[in-house]
Structure 1
Amino acid sequence: MPRQIRFNAFDMNCVAHQSSGLWRHPEDRSASYTDLAYWTELAKLLEKGRFDGIFLADVLGTYDVYGGTNEAAIRNGAQIPVADPLLVIPAMAYVTEHLGFGVTAGTAYEHPYPFARRMSTLDHLTKGRVGWNVVTGYLPSAARNMGNDDQLEHDDRYDHADEYLEVLYKLWEGSWEDDAVVRDRETGVFTDPSKVHHIGHEGKHFKVPGIHLAEPSPQRSPVIYQAGASSRGIAFAAGNAEAIFVAASTKSVLKETVTKLRDALEGAGRDRYSAKIYTLLTIITDETSEKAQAKYLDYLSYASEEGALVFMSGWMGVDLSAYGLDEPIGNVKSNAIQSTVANFQAANDDGSEWTVGDIARAGAIGGLGPFIVGSASEIADQLEEWVEETDVDGFNLAYAITPGTFEDVVNFVVPELQKRGSYPTEYEEGTLRQKLHGRGDRLPDEHRGANYRVGVAAV
């Protein structure tokens, strides 16, 4: 049986998520992000296509690295305005039965204690279909608006996140015993106090002495998502991640990244395949190759290269307005997403160097990830090649226009892959964790968070 290819939808509660300028396309509905019907209809479409889930990105600042100002970001609608991603999840969960929800929230600017309750609430309301994408932050503007001069250095952000996760695991896994809630109407006891435990955490960054405010949810800990392929990010993923999102400009870069991640998982005492790895990709397809190419050229006519450089400057931590379009990226130091810089400093598959102009053109549709254009069979061939050659599990699908890009994938690509036996025809039952890994609702014993369960001495 062919290896099963997995899809996530990549979206954000904003306009112009990855493909800057495409909000102007007459068929694009991303400007309806403030309308709840946009999200519920999208959720039903993705469930029809048997997507693992929808992955919602987020930022707490504006992209102001390009030109030293956020004016270009505001002008292009480049992830600004942006709304809270968590609030749309209950509505999407209400109209679906199986679709998972990966929500982004940062560790830098919110205390873990209230965040733990919010995620437990979402896990209850979705019946165990929520995951958390752990981000440490990369936009200096977010740090400034939270009262800091700048964000912490890259590796220090991960050190802070390590303790953040420790607090959360103690609350989610170690505070309430499984049978603490008794709901005994005769005695009037709702919860047995002897089975609810103070976590007594006192660390470098946080002091949390008390109990978790929420009763145990279906998964207790949400599925842990992580996006980051720097050496420190890989180490963090090895201990925590159950689903990993990466972005790679070429198959050779992706293969190297996937191998590093699987080696790190194994080095942390986990199975090499204990985390699903999804790579960022945008698919432009239609009934025929000719129609797909025409659609691509139509989309390209609306794309904003300035908007693409605004995004790339923010992701790389490098002001690309200071470079000529023909200049190679060269050796630059980044305090933002280091793997992004490394990807573009690596050669193309044809051996050529990336220039600033190349980055602008490549990022105009699909952002950090590549895009592929073709008929359903051509797209399916390429997806199968990517999986076979790189060992990636699936694809985090960005859109050129929404919901049109996702509709095309569901209507054309999914049936073709299903016909080949390389894409699921039905969902597994159970929680998101069970659907992804088939090992039950709870964190596996070898996962870092399992060390904090009630009655287990943390290591």
Structure 2
Amino acid sequence: MSRQIRLNAFEMNCVGHQSPGLWAHPRDRSSQYKDIEYWTDLAKLLERGKFDGLFIADVLGVYDVYGGTLDHALRHSTQIPLNDPLQIVPAMAIVTENLGFGVTASLSFEHPYTFARRISTLDHITKGRAGWNIVTSYLESGAKNIGLVGQSAHDDRYDVADEYLEVCYKLWEGSWEDDAVVRDRTRRVFTEPSKVHPIRHAGRFFQVPGVHLSEPSPQRTPVLYQAGASSRGQRFAGTNAECVFVATPSKTVLKKTVEAIRREVAAAGRDPASVLIFNLQTVIVDETDAKAQAKYKDYLNYISYDGALALGSGWMGIDFSAYAPDEPLRHIKTNAVQSSVDAFSSADPSKVWTVRELAEWIGIGGLGPIIVGGPQTAADLLQEWVDETGVDGFNLAYVVAHETFTDIVEHLVPELQKRGVYKTDYAPGTLREKLFGAGPRLPDTHPGAGFRNLGLSAQRALNAAE
């Protein structure tokens, strides 16, 4: 019997996101991304479909690798214009009760002291439905626009990430004791000073001596997502991630990736089954196979070839304008998303991709595979992916907003529920409780939990020394 399937919606505060060119489709709403109703309508739709969460991507940079120019990205709205992801979440939280929000934020461009407060605020406002997708960023333009010479080396960015997470854990888990906030009107004491501790972090990359600015939020540490499937990224995920997002084009590659991630989780002393893994997927579904296929053929008319290659060039750090359309994609070591290069080159020896095929693939749904069919066909195929790869669920990209998700909620979700492989209601509690069926806090086996009494222990050691 198939395992339960988990679904997130994959979005971005921009036009088009994973399907460059489809914004021009007459039924597409993504050009309304700057209107709050776009997001509240989406949130209510996803909660009706019992989606676990809305996974919001982000980049701080532009796709200017293709042809060495930004023109293609601008012309085809290739993730530009782009607005901030965190600011849309409170409005969606107001109109929902259970939907989680996995927000992408790069640790390369913001100090952990200020970032920790932003996430604590989000967790408070959403009543514990906040998640953080941890990324180290890959666009050279983003690094240059905050004053750096360029992007640091791929693996070096994860060295910074290790310490960044340590600082955040100390702030979220260790600075404030559970009973620090007393709200005692009689004594006129809101917070007991003796129960709030400076973290005294002095590391290689960060110096953070003081206390966390926010009182403990419902989850303290948000649910930790991680989107990086390179060997170094997998090692980082094995230590820190509770949910891992990957984008692989085939079941062969996905199975290897899932197994590798679970090995890293075990190597970090954690239960391999405790981490949920989601693959990027696009599902085009309708009442029947024929209607779904007709819809897919209609969508193909709107793909932007240059927009797709602008995305692919940015993701992989390869200027595809220098290659002939039918030239095979060779494995190249780059400083961008290394796992993307691996997935489309040497990782799957059964398939040799040309640049043209890559553009056609990316044109609808980005790097993830596409499923097209009626409810029974789509459900069969999703179950095959779960059964044959060990993946836990899918981050579903849209083709036409919000038509893609409306079709999934109305056609696919009822079929999955009928088969007993998809929830009919949400579990109570915070996002972490809904996903894992335990408490709102990091489990004791997670390394972040080791910082819970850090401030108190340090204070006791200091008092003993005195």
The TM-score with structure 1 as length reference comes to 0.98
Matches of 1:360 and 1:32 in 2, distance apart?
26
Q: State yes or no: 1:64 paired with 2:64.
A: yes
Q: How does 1:312-391 map to 2 (within 5 A)?
A: 312-346=312-346, 351-391=350-390
Q: Secondary structure at the match of 1:273?
A: helix
Matches of 1:28 and 1:397 in 2, distance apart?
17
Q: Secondary structure at the match of 2:9?
A: strand
Matches of 1:165 and 1:188 in 2, distance apart?
35
> Which letter maps to 2:449?
A
Matches of 2:347 and 2:159 in 1, distance apart?
31
Q: How does 1:87-98 map to 2 (within 5 A)?
A: 87-98=87-98
Structure 2 residue runs of 5 or longer lacking an equivalent are 459-466
Deviation, 1:337, is: 0.5
Contact 2:225 2:243 in 1 (8 A): yes
Q: How does 1:37-436 map to 2 (within 5 A)?
A: 37-346=37-346, 351-436=350-435
- Post-superposition Cα deviations, 1:56-85, rounded to whole Å, max 9, x if no partner, equal 000111001101111110111000000000
Matches of 1:252 and 1:457 in 2, distance apart?
48
Matches of 1:273 and 1:41 in 2, distance apart?
34
Structure 1 residue runs of 5 or longer lacking an equivalent are none
Contact 1:451 1:457 in 2 (8 A): no
Structure 1 runs (4+) greater than 4 angstroms displaced: 455-458
| Residue identity (%) | 63
- Post-superposition Cα deviations, 1:397-444, rounded to whole Å, max 9, x if no partner, equal 000011100000000000000000011001000000011111210000
Contact 1:348 1:354 in 2 (8 A): no
Matches of 2:17 and 2:333 in 1, distance apart?
25
Matches of 2:335 and 2:278 in 1, distance apart?
24
Matches of 1:189 and 1:454 in 2, distance apart?
23
Q: Secondary structure at the match of 2:373?
A: strand
Contact 2:296 2:372 in 1 (8 A): yes
> Which letter maps to 1:438?
G
Contact 1:36 1:88 in 2 (8 A): yes
Contact 1:313 1:319 in 2 (8 A): yes
Matches of 2:331 and 2:33 in 1, distance apart?
38
- Post-superposition Cα deviations, 1:315-344, rounded to whole Å, max 9, x if no partner, equal 001101111111111131110000000000
Deviation, 1:185, is: 0.7
Deviation, 1:346, is: 3.4
Matches of 2:183 and 2:323 in 1, distance apart?
65
Deviation, 1:348, is: 5.7
Q: Secondary structure at the match of 1:216?
A: coil
Contact 1:242 1:276 in 2 (8 A): yes
Matches of 1:122 and 1:363 in 2, distance apart?
32
Q: Secondary structure at the match of 2:344?
A: helix
Contact 2:285 2:373 in 1 (8 A): yes
CA, structure 1 residues 123+110, in 2 after alignment: closer, same or farther (shift >3 Å)?
same
Contact 2:2 2:383 in 1 (8 A): no
> Which letter maps to 1:20?
P
Moved more, 327-336 or 190-199: 327-336
How many matched pairs?
A: 457
